[in-house]
Amino acid sequence: MWGSGDRVVVRYIRRGRVSWVRPVTVVEDRDDLNVLFLSAGTPTKEPVHDDGSPIPRSLTYEQRFQLDGRVGDGNWGGHQTLLITPPGAAHSIWLFWTEPWEFTGWYVNLQEPQTRTPIGFDTSDQVLDIWVEPDLTWSWKDEDELEDAIRLGRFSPDEAAAIRAEGENVVAAWPFPTGWEDWRPDPAWPVPQLPVGWERV
């Protein structure tokens, strides 16, 4: 188990290779809960074009799917983010704030259950997500991309149904607010950097 203040990475694995890497600071790591802090301005690794330029979200899912192969430098930008993941669960709940800590909402990232590695945690994104506003209204995110992922053979219809069912279970349990909305990091924590060996699966 990791200790509070330890610096690790969350990696997203695609086709047997690392596709996203996000350095984080451990807040809590317990048998029943894993809480990680992703600081605004954190250097990351993400899919890029052959020339190293970012792949914009304005491209269709099919275009991004075909380009997903090379990983280059990225940055988390202006969001303070807390990642709350129950071990064994196929989702993670993210709390988003602006850089000066104005709360903007909750994001349910549907993903494969995390596995531990020597440098942190690995998972795989499952495309469909849920966004919950501060007023507790919610909506699905990227339903069209999940349909594209089925069409392109990334997920079978049964796998996609299981992904949606996981989201429906989170909504039925309704863990909002989470109790972490007033949390703030230790001001002495540095922004974590990418560790040696981040690319090795």
Catalytic positions = 141
What is d(CA 145, CA 70) in angstroms, rounded to the nearest whole number?
21
CA angle 87, 186, 2 (to 5 degrees): 30
C-beta separation of 198 from 45 below 8 A = yes
Those residues whose C-beta lies under 8 Å from the C-beta of residue 107, and which sit 6 or more positions away, are 93, 94, 95, 96, 129, 130, 131, 132, 141
Angle at 57 (CA atoms; ends 61, 191), nearest 5 degrees: 125
Q: What phi and psi values does residue 112 have, to the nearest 5 degrees? A: -65, 150
